[in-house]
Amino acid sequence: MTTSRLPYVLSAIIFLTAVVRIWLSSLNHDAAWLVWAGERVRGGAQLYTDIIEVNPPLIFWLGRPAAWISDVTGLSLGGGYKAWVFLLAAVSLILSAQLLRRMTPAPGLWALPVLTFALTWLAADQFAQREHFMAILILPYVLLVALRAGGARASVKSAAFIAILAAAGLCIKPYYMAVPAALELYLLFKIGLRPALKRPEPWVIAGCALAYVGAIAVLTPQYFGAAFGYISDVYSAGFKADPEAVILGLWPLWLTVLIGAVCTVRLRPTFSAIAPVYMATSLTVLALLCGYFIQFKGWTNHAYPVLAYALFPAFAGMAALWRHRDGLKIYAGLMGIGVAALAVFAPLNATWQRADLRDISAYLKTQHEAKSIFIMSANLYDGFPLVTEHNLEWGSRFASLWLTPGLQAPRDHLRADLQARLAEAEAFTKSALAHDFAASKPDAILVDVRERKNMFRAPYDYIADFSTDPDFAREFSKYKQADWPGKYALYVRRTGAPD
């Protein structure tokens, strides 16, 4: 095998082992919810009315091709979603490989295995999350900026296509617009005002962003409605992470940056060869880091893109190492060991996610003939991917009752108008769930009755609190408690319960 082919071979092995690992695993709860909600929208449900969601609609529109893949191939909805994300990742990596080949004298193609790892294995637990889509779609744009900073040119058509992909990723969340802001300012100072503005990328990204805002106003005006206002108030007022947890959630970032900095300083004479890619990727990390701290939740899906792109400054150090007389041997050896480990452990690690789903589904169906359920819990992972993978119906417009912990948080320190809006949001949540139960009549309702619940600051009783709404109390009276071997209480619909 020639040296020039080795990066492609390593990347292919990393990619294919990731396909095996993820294909045999459950979709994570957020992705499973997107699959379920997207299918309902395709069936005529209205986002932000029939489905309560805080995120803008782009992530649902990006998932539409997954349903088409399922229809054509016969794959399950989850399988079609996985295939679609892998297809996007493959396109992104192919475009990136073409750009990396032009990064000379630095060994650009040797970054390809690192990029492949970042978009596949590193994302395994966050696969098909919004942050994963974004990381996939902006990668060619980040590398194109690095090339531009080094004085290279690109055709208008290819640059425009790369910019369209980037815009699709950046518009998923408004925080991500910090990435093109940082990179475009870098190019402005690096190559000058006129050359920077003659490029199609900034204009295409800006045009796509404006078109997206217009599309929201025309296609999903409900996004700006009362339900979204309630969710936004609860989200901002009720969910505050521990600063220590937010910072420690990025501990791999600090380690990766340290490795990249040490390599770069030690090999300072060769730094000029990799300076553009080092600067472009470092600025991307800083921009994504701003979004992480603005959200300030410390959640792993928020941290993923920061960690993924933080691999690149470390790669820059390894690229400088290339100029060292033993650089190729060291790099190839490290990558070879890593790929061999992945190849061995991929089948073993492939089915760890939510191994209890099959047992839960089987018990509900065989013991209680339950085909539709709802789970009164703040944890999205209690209901999804249980529903999508085991052909159960979901009995509400809510993915979970994740609003409830925020609504139960102390309000005395808040402004009077915000307290009033939170009270409205609480009333809306109870009334809407009662309406959902009356309309969908779920066969079974699971209730989190644990004394210590995730995200709650004090003990909380779902049934007692929601039953303060008379409509909910009336609907819930049509259920009786049944035996359940799990950690939650199970209520099944009474035989002959009135509609």
Lowest mean pLDDT among 90-94, 167-171, 307-311, 477-481: 307-311
pLDDT at 267: 53
Burial environment of residue 411 by CB neighbours within 10 A (0 to 12, 13 to 18, 19 or more): middle
Express each pLDDT in 206-242 by its tens digit.
Answer: 999 999 999 999 999 988 876 667 677 776 665 666 6
In this prediction, residue 5 has a pLDDT band, given cuts at 50, 70 and 90, of: confident
Give dist(CA 428, CA 229) in Å, integer. 11
| Cβ atoms within 10 Å, residue 308 | 26
Closest CA to 478 of 447, 439, 437: 437
Query: Residues 167, 205: contact at Cβ < 8 Å?
Result: yes
66-109 residue pLDDT tens: 999 999 999 988 999 999 999 999 999 999 999 988 876 555 78
Return the higher-pLDDT residue of 360 and 267.
360
Q: Which residues contact 72 (CB under 8 A, 6 or more apart)?
A: none
Banded pLDDT at 347 (limits 50, 70, 90): very low
* Mean pLDDT, the chain, whole residue set: 83
> What pLDDT is stored for residue 350 in this prediction?
40
pLDDT tens track for 387-401 = 888 888 999 999 999
pLDDT value of position 465: 96
Question: Residues 258-271: pLDDT tens digits?
Answer: 555 555 555 555 55
Q: Which residue has the tokens 């025309």?
A: 218
* Sheet arrangement for strand 479-482: 393-394, 372-376, 444-447, 489-493, 479-482
pLDDT at residue 1 greater than cutoff 60: no
DSSP state of 377: S
- What pLDDT score was predicted for residue 4? 73
Q: DSSP for 60-73, please give it.
A: HHHTHHHHHHHHHH
Structure tokens at 195: 């050359």
Q: For residue 123, which of 112, 108, 133, 111 has the smallest C-alpha distance? A: 133
pLDDT in tens, 324-343: 544 444 544 454 444 454 44
Neighbours of 492 (CB within 10 A): 21
pLDDT at 485: 76
Phi, psi of 324 (to 5 degrees): -70, 150
Domain boundaries, the chain: 3-349, 357-493
Predicted local distance difference test score (pLDDT) of residue 417: 83
d(CA 151, CA 289): 27
Instruction: Tell me which residue of 104, 102, 156, 109 sits closest to 12, measured CA to CA.
Output: 109
> Given this model, what pLDDT does residue 108 score?
73
Query: What distance in Å separates the CA atoms of residue 337 and residue 333, rounded to the nearest whole number?
Result: 6
Structure confidence at residue 344 (pLDDT):
47
User: Residue 74 in contact with residue 420, Cβ under 8 Å?
Assistant: no
- Averaged pLDDT, 342-370: 59
Give me 221's structure tokens. 């005006």
pLDDT digits over 58-75, tens only? 999 999 999 999 999 999
pLDDT of residue 346: 43
pLDDT for res 412: 81
Residues 97, 99, 104, 110, Cα dihedral to 10°? -20
Which band of pLDDT confidence, cut at 50, 70 and 90, is reported for residue 469?
very high
pLDDT of residue 408: 86
Spatial separation of the C-alpha atoms in residues 25 and 351, rounded to whole Å: 5
The partner residues of 493 in beta bridges, in order of sequence, read: 479
Q: Is residue 349 over pLDDT 50?
A: no
Tell me which range, 234-243, 353-362, 454-463, is most confidently predicted by mean pLDDT. 454-463
The total of other beta-carbon atoms located within 10 Å of residue 55's CB is 18
Taking the C-alpha atoms of residue 81 and residue 433, their distance in angstroms, rounded to an integer, is 29
8 Å CB contact between 374 and 396: yes
Instruction: Cite the DSSP H helix spans in 350-491.
Output: 357-368, 380-383, 386-389, 403-407, 416-440, 462-466, 470-476
Of the pLDDT bands very low, low, confident and very high (cuts 50, 70, 90), residue 177 is very high
